[in-house]
């Protein structure tokens, strides 16, 4: 339906530095390297190589790579290397599970009407989770509450092999905490698409609001630190109880290029 759009791009406002700092040179070099031949998940030269090639110290290279990591254009794995992120999406913000989110407002998170089922993955979902089509997937459906009032209708799907023995009682609380504690899976980041929408009568009923009320629809793909997809989720948030507040800032320290 909607044409997906990204809110930001690594094209900072004009702020050319006359001195031509070395960091900028390194940054440009790395970005050119990426834009030139490198595809997603390709490996960049090592920090030590870049430092030597460009005639700067390794720490300077590290700073630049730190920035690019913050901007989600690359990721690093200690002992392995530095790699190109697939799509360069917006900037990072802190990952929020529903439970953390609510607790930070001193509200008690909970769940209603939990169902946990297992089914074979369709083509789309299989692609998202990097499974073969038909692989078993665990589907979790929950109405999330804060202090008992419904806030969010959440449908999560995970590869069944990652969560053996998962039952409905397990997911009355935080799914991410459960993943970490029982299955040793650390969610590292997630790509989210947020849309404004209106609720169809069924979903509205579950959230206890009138049909066609305004809502956020959040589509999320969460991955662990190695980039392995762990969870696909679609959440519907009541607009009258939930809004996004955030601070946006122009990028620091990167010249125009």
- Contact positions toward DNA, by CB under 7 A? 19, 21-24, 44, 46-48, 55-60, 62-63, 65, 76-82, 253
Closest CA to 39 of 90, 89, 84, 88: 84
Establish how many alpha carbons lie within 13 A of residue 251's alpha carbon, considering only the half-sphere containing its beta carbon. 23
- 247 binds, options a copy of itself, DNA, none, Cβ within 5 to 8 A by partner type: a copy of itself
CB of 132 to DNA, least distance (A): 22
CA distance 196 to 207: 16
Backbone torsions φ then ψ of 3, nearest 5 degrees: -80, 120
Q: Measure CA 245 to chain center.
A: 17
Q: Which residue shows structure tokens 């790509």?
A: 191
CB of 134 to a copy of itself, least distance (A): 29
CB of 95 to DNA, least distance (A): 18
Residue 107 or 251 with smaller CB distance to DNA: 251
If one asks whether residue 162 binds a copy of itself (CB under 8 A), the answer comes out as: no
CA distance 68 to 46: 15
8 Å CB contact between 74 and 29: no
Residue 116 or 224 with smaller CB distance to a copy of itself: 224
Run of H or E including 227: none
x/- string (CB under 8 A) for a copy of itself, residues 115-154?
----------------------------------------
Residues that bind a copy of itself (CB under 8 A): 1-15, 69-72, 89-96, 100-101, 104-105, 176, 180, 186-198, 212-216, 237, 239-252
């Amino acid at each position: 339906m909607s044409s997906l759009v990204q809110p930001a791009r690594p094209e900072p406002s004009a702020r050319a530095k006359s001195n031509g700092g070395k960091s900028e040179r390194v940054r440009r070099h790395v970005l050119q390297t990426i834009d030139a031949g490198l595809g997603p998940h390709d490996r960049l030269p090592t920090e030590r190589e870049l430092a030597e090639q460009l005639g700067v110290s390794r720490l300077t290279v590290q700073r630049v790579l730190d920035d690019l990591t913050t901007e989600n254009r690359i990721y690093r794995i200690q002992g392995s290397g530095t790699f190109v992120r697939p799509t360069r999406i917006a900037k990072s913000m802190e990952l929020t599970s529903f439970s953390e989110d609510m607790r930070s407002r001193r509200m008690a998170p909970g769940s209603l009407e939990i169902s946990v089922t297992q089914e074979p993955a369709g083509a789309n979902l299989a692609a998202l989770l990097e499974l073969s089509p038909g692989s078993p997937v665990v589907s979790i459906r929950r109405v999330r509450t804060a202090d008992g009032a419904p806030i969010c209708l959440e449908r999560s799907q995970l590869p069944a092999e990652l969560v053996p023995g998962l039952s409905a009682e397990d997911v009355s609380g935080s799914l991410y905490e459960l993943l970490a504690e029982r299955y040793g899976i650390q969610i590292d980041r997630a790509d989210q698409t947020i849309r404004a929408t209106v609720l169809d009568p069924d979903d509205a009923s579950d959230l206890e609001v009138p049909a066609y009320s305004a809502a956020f629809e959040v589509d999320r793909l969460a991955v662990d630190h190695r980039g392995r997809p762990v969870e696909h989720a679609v959440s519907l948030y009541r607009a009258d109880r939930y809004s996004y507040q955030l601070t946006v800032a122009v990028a620091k320290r990167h010249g125009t290029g």
